[in-house]
Structure 1
Amino acid sequence: MQNNLLAEFGRRLRELRQERNGTQKSMAAYLGCTVSNYQKMEYGQVNVPALTLIALSEYFHVSIDYLLGRSELR
């Protein structure tokens, strides 16, 4: 189950970033992490801290449940 959640989170994160024509580098700078760490988020390879989820939710104007694939409502 955890792998599915991480994979869906990564897919949605990538989709939202691309909708805004953002780069992985710009997202890493926004979050204060390395590009490598941000890439791992998009690839569904790392658990994301709660504060990072909140920051992403606010940045993209979507719910955390949407980011995690628990809701289809943005």
Structure 2
Amino acid sequence: MYARIRNLREDADLLQRDIAQILNCTQVCYSNYEMGKRDIPTDVLIKLANFYHTSVDYLLGETDVRAPYPKNHK
């Protein structure tokens, strides 16, 4: 999972501080997410999945399909 969020960030040519700003956390906090030193809260995983237009399952390594799931419209 940690390599996936790092690779997505690098593929988007973004710095850790850029993603930290989006997540409203510090660069150090985000760096700890990428290195696996800190568990990523569910709400942060959702924000990352939405930002990168993918699914939480993709971020977690449960699937290799990068496309997000369709939204349920009720």
Shorter-chain TM-score: which interval?
Answer: 0.7 to 0.9
Higher relative CO (Cα under 8 Å, sequence separation at least 6) belongs to 1
Alignment of 1:1-74 (within 5 A): 9-74=1-66
How large is the RMSD of aligned CA atoms in angstroms? 0.6
Q: Which segments of 5 or more consecutive residues in structure 1 lack a partner in the other structure?
A: 1-8
More helix by share: 1
| Alignment partner, residue 5 of structure 1 | none
- Counting matched residue pairs gives 66
Larger Rg: 2
Percent of paired sites with the same residue: 36
Question: Where does structure 1 differ by over 2 angstroms across 4 or more consecutive aligned residues?
Answer: none
Partner Cα separation in structure 2 for residue 47 and residue 28 of structure 1: 15
The TM-score, its normalising length taken from structure 2, stands at: 0.86
